[in-house]
Amino acid sequence: MLKTLIGRELLDNLMTFRFAAVALITLLLVVVNTVVLVQDYEQRLESYNDAVKMHHQDLHNSKTYSTAYVIVDRAPNPLSIFNVGLDKRLGNLIGIYHGFMPTLWDAQMHGTDNPFIAFFSSIDIVFVFEVILSLMGLIFAYDAIAGERERGTLRLVLAQPIGRGQILLAKYISAMACLLVPLILSLLFALLFLTRSIPLSTADFFRIAGIVLTSFAYLSLFYLIGLLISVATRRTGTALMLAMFVWGFLILVYPNLIRVTVNPGGDIQARVKTAHNQIQQIIDEYERERQKFLENEGIAGEMSEFSKALGFYHQADVNPVTLTTYIENMSVLSEIRPDFEKYVPVAKRYYNFVEPLATRTVEKAWRVRKQALDEIYVQQATTDRILLKLSPVGIYDAATQAWAGTNLSGLRDFFEAARRYRKITIDYLYAKDAFSSREWFVADKGAVDWRTLPAFTFQRSDVRTNAKRALPDLFLLLIANLALFMGIVLIFMRSEV
């Protein structure tokens, strides 16, 4: 019996105009946007490759250790085609330096030749699905029960020896089977375009499978919302109106509304200020030790001579907004005048003392800063995201971003890697005894050889991590599905025909 019902519903749905129209539009939108997105990705990849080459060259051009310019770049994520998330928005290059702790708040952007283009927001595949799949679900569901009730066929069906739950199940299964056709078809086309120009790894296919699964849950959720409306209303006209306004509210209004109505915490300024003061104290302490060293060496009085001899540049700052802590000790000179040669031993001792001190200071400041940044920026963003999850769109977006690795954690992985790389470079400098070497500040006795410096590599987190990040949201979607289905069955059981 269930089979017959499913068969009937399936035929009913497949033969309609709305099915053809929806399938066509989904396919069209996904394909057109994929082509645009692939092109955009290729451009970003090209500018990434250029940047890597340039930064590599820059490093090998630096002749001394102290003027070395190590910059690492973030490659565009190929899965950003599915959900761009923060991949395009956040900075994609960051300096690696022992007197500085790289975070995403310090990153900069390469490859934006015309930033005005940012006027147009990019449309990714998940966005197309967000809008279209939800609309599809509602359009297919609004008259599922209300329509039959209006036409009187519901009474006929219920006269048969089948449970009401089974009727709902049959309707659900057949509608989902129909709705999956445009979803799968458009995804296949998208993948076709994608794999032609972007090589994807096996792991990427698993991630895409995760995205498809999430899309499925999302689609089903909206179908169930439509079904709920259909069960609860007597007329199709009312059901349709309710469905459309629910759609407009959940998709269009709520995600934009919630961001402005939640007032960002008022004492952000105060929090930044306390952290700033704390870090300033750490820097002051560093400065005191530095001065003490200079006095002990007996060159505190002839600092101007000393700086002139070394082409000396010193800076220890903390940015009052982003709390970026930066300690720089640098010599910009090509050779040492013979009469300044007497300062060389002092200079070696100075750098050998001050650079490890700077490294430690920055690490100490980082502990304060990390906490402050988490409290000020990350928490705010997290709260916003949680509030967004009151709409299925928010959950869907978060889950697909997690699969694609373009969410906040995915991007923080990169900066985590950058910080690890900083550690590696420092170890490298220690291993080379660079701090106490002449090459630290002058290259007149031969330039630094950078070839042995380990290269920076960044692997996106593995599929398991992606899944771990995405599964809570996916479960949320599934639970919402289940709860809605139970609710629908309950209402339908108790409704009069």
What amino acid is encoded at 380 in this protein? Q
Q: Distance of CA 193 to CAs 9, 132, 196, Å?
A: 34, 20, 5
Longest pairwise C-alpha distance within the chain: 109
- Cβ proximity to other proteins: between 26 and 437 the closer is 26
Exposed (0-12), middle (13-18) or buried (19+): which is 27, by Cβ within 10 Å?
middle
Q: Please name which of 253, 270, 275 lies closest in space to residue 372, comparing C-alpha atoms.
A: 275
Within 13-42, the residues that bind other proteins by CB under 8 A are 17-18, 21-22, 25, 28-29, 32-33, 36, 39-40
How far is the C-alpha of 478 from the C-alpha of 474, rounded, in Å? 6
- Binding track over 299-338 against other proteins, x by CB under 8 A: -----------------------x----------------
Q: Where are the alpha helices (DSSP H) in 265-340?
A: 268-297, 303-310
Give yes or no for residue 114 binding other proteins (CB under 8 A). yes
- Cβ proximity to other proteins: between 113 and 496 the closer is 113
Question: Shortest Cβ distance from residue 410 to other proteins (Å)?
Answer: 12
Query: What is the three-class DSSP state of 92?
Result: coil
- Cβ proximity to other proteins: between 17 and 451 the closer is 17
Question: Shortest Cβ distance from residue 30 to other proteins (Å)?
Answer: 10
Identify the residue among 397, 406, 434, 460 touching other proteins (CB under 8 A). 397
Angle 284-412-95 (CA atoms, 0-180°, nearest 5)?
55
How far is the C-alpha of 368 from the C-alpha of 326, rounded, in Å? 14
Q: Residue 389: which residues within 8 A CB-CB, separation 6 or more? A: 395, 398, 473, 476
Give yes or no for residue 126 binding other proteins (CB under 8 A). no
Identify the residue among 105, 193, 206, 458 touching other proteins (CB under 8 A). 105
**Window contacting other proteins (CB under 8 A); options: 128-136, 291-299, 445-453, 476-484:** 128-136
Angle 30-35-41 (CA atoms, 0-180°, nearest 5)?
115
Note whether 395 and 389 are within 8 A (CB): yes
Give yes or no for residue 465 binding other proteins (CB under 8 A). no
**Window contacting other proteins (CB under 8 A); options: 288-296, 374-382, 419-427, 468-476:** 374-382
The residues binding other proteins (CB under 8 A) are 17-18, 21-22, 25, 28-29, 32-33, 36, 39-40, 86, 89-91, 104-105, 107-109, 112-123, 128, 131-132, 135, 139, 143, 236-238, 240-242, 244-245, 248-249, 252-253, 255-257, 259-261, 263, 322, 377-378, 380-381, 384-385, 388, 394, 397, 408
